[in-house]
């Protein structure tokens, strides 16, 4: 038997069971859209029914939860427990396990074709939603059952490998932060940050003239993840950059630090390319042979460094760190050689985390390619 064209609603059932009083029925967990992570089939958080909710949509372990609101967020998960969920979540299951393998249902919902169909059939401007009638009409080629089993086994194996890499990466991140805090907490003598930096300066205060392409102009949003994102939306001319660079003079080993809004994010400058940045970002230039830039980044990420940021941040609607406040940050009195030793230990953990991220990305790409090949 070869692949045959089917409609989603012909092989998948929408579960419409309700429970008006979940707590009385012995149901203690609920799932909202906020508990489903995009592109992740595993539910790592949930709410307690005892806290008070209005959700009544029932789901059982093994059923598939699909976020019908803002479908472009790609929220699909497999329930690993019984509970109730938001009305913005559809509950799916295979109509006939001998026709559609239940283990394949979540991957059909994760396929690019299904996502695009859900997005294209959504209605509403602020909070677009798709509906069951539209989803049920989605057509795709369904392989024979033995082929479905082979595909599902491969996809779940890839998913499990990705999940294990993510768990390991989280453990590395936790150990990394513990190491940073352990190293910083042992120091009892401090100096002002201005004593170990040759320059603490922010971006240009005048509004730059932006052009369609040129020198990248970095915003806080380009740094908020903890890594620099070179996918920028603004550029300036070489002439404007020449004026800015004379004032700022960013070099390898400096640290960028967000000071407005999402304040307190340090980025180590390990690139050698022209760029400029907005006034909501500060440049911390270490005194060479006195302050190691990488150690400075790790210090600012430590609990003590974050406490300094929270202590000096001012404002109500949008917290801000002034340059004067930055200069007054307490910094551990520590030799340059010891800074380098500590930074090297933490950097080794960063390298391990980056390798894990590459494995996760490669497996995710392989899974997507495999899914696109067989579910279309």
Assess if residue 283 is contained within a domain.
yes
pTM of the model: 0.78
Assess if residue 37 is contained within a domain.
yes
> Considering its fold, how many domains does the chain have in total?
3
* H/E stretch holding 239: helix 238-248
Do residues 60 and 21 touch, judged by C-beta distance below 8 A?
Answer: no
Any alpha helices (H) in 36-144, and if so which ranges?
A: 105-110, 112-120, 132-136
Assess if residue 19 is contained within a domain.
yes
- The DSSP annotation for 87-114 comes to TTEEEEEES-TTTS-GGGHHHHHHSHHH
Same domain, 290 and 366: no
Q: Could you count the other beta carbons within 10 Å of the beta carbon of residue 143?
A: 18
Same domain, 48 and 122: yes
Assess if residue 75 is contained within a domain.
yes
Same domain, 19 and 94: yes
What pLDDT is stored for residue 207 in this prediction?
Answer: 80
Same domain, 151 and 266: no
Assess if residue 47 is contained within a domain.
yes
Same domain, 136 and 32: yes
Q: Tell which residue, 41, 102, 70, has the closest CA to residue 367.
A: 41
Assess if residue 219 is contained within a domain.
yes
The length of the chain, given as a count of residues: 376
Residues 6+ apart with CB under 8 A from 121: 130, 131, 134, 135
Assess if residue 182 is contained within a domain.
no
Same domain, 14 and 133: yes
Same domain, 235 and 138: no
d(CA 368, CA 352): 25
Q: Tell which residue, 236, 243, 278, has the closest CA to residue 259.
A: 278
- CATH number of the domain enclosing 219: 3.90.220.20
Give the structural domain span for 138. Answer: 4-142
The whole-number mean pLDDT for each consecutive block of 10 residues of the chain, a chain of 376 residues, reads 85 95 94 95 94 92 96 96 96 96 96 94 91 96 93 94 94 94 91 96 88 94 94 93 88 96 95 94 96 97 94 90 95 94 95 95 90 79
What pLDDT is stored for residue 370 in this prediction?
Answer: 85
């Amino acid at each position: 038997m070869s692949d045959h064209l089917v409609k989603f609603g012909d092989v998948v059932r929408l579960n419409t069971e309700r429970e008006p009083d979940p707590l009385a029925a012995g149901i203690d967990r609920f799932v909202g859209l906020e508990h489903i992570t995009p592109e992740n089939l595993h539910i790592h958080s949930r709410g307690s029914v005892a806290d008070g909710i209005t959700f009544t949509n029932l789901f059982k372990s093994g059923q598939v939860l699909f976020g019908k609101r803002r479908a472009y967020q790609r929220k699909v998960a497999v329930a690993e427990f019984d509970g109730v969920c938001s009305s913005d979540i559809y509950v799916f299951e295979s109509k006939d396990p001998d026709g559609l393998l239940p283990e394949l249902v979540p991957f059909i919902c994760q396929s690019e074709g299904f996502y695009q169909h859900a997005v294209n059939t959504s209605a509403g401007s602020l909070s677009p939603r798709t509906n069951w009638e539209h989803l049920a009409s989605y057509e795709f080629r369904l392989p024979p059952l033995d082929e479905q089993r082979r595909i599902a086994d491969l996809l779940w194996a890839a998913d499990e490998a990705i999940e294990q890499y993510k768990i390991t990466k989280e453990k590395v991140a936790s150990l990394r932060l513990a190491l940073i805090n352990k190293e910083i907490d042992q120091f009892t003598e401090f100096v002002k940050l201005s004593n170990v930096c040759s320059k603490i300066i922010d971006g240009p205060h005048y509004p730059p003239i932006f052009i369609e392409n040129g020198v990248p102009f970095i915003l806080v949003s380009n740094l908020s993840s903890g890594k620099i994102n070179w996918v920028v939306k603004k550029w300036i001319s070489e002439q404007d950059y020449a004026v800015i660079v004379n004032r700022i003079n960013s070099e390898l080993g400096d640290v960028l630090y967000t000071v407005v809004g999402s304040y307190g994010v340090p980025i180590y400058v390990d690139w050698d390319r022209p760029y400029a940045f907005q006034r909501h970002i500060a440049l911390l230039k270490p005194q060479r042979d006195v302050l190691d830039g990488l150690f400075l980044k790790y210090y600012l990420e430590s609990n003590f460094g974050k406490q300094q940021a929270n202590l000096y941040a001012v404002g109500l609607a949008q917290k801000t760190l002034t340059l004067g406040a930055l200069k007054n940050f307490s910094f551990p009195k520590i030799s340059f050689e010891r800074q380098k030793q500590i930074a090297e230990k933490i950097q080794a953990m960063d390298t391990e985390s980056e390798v894990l991220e590459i494995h996760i990305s490669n497996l995710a790409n392989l899974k997507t390619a495999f899914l696109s090949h067989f579910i279309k």
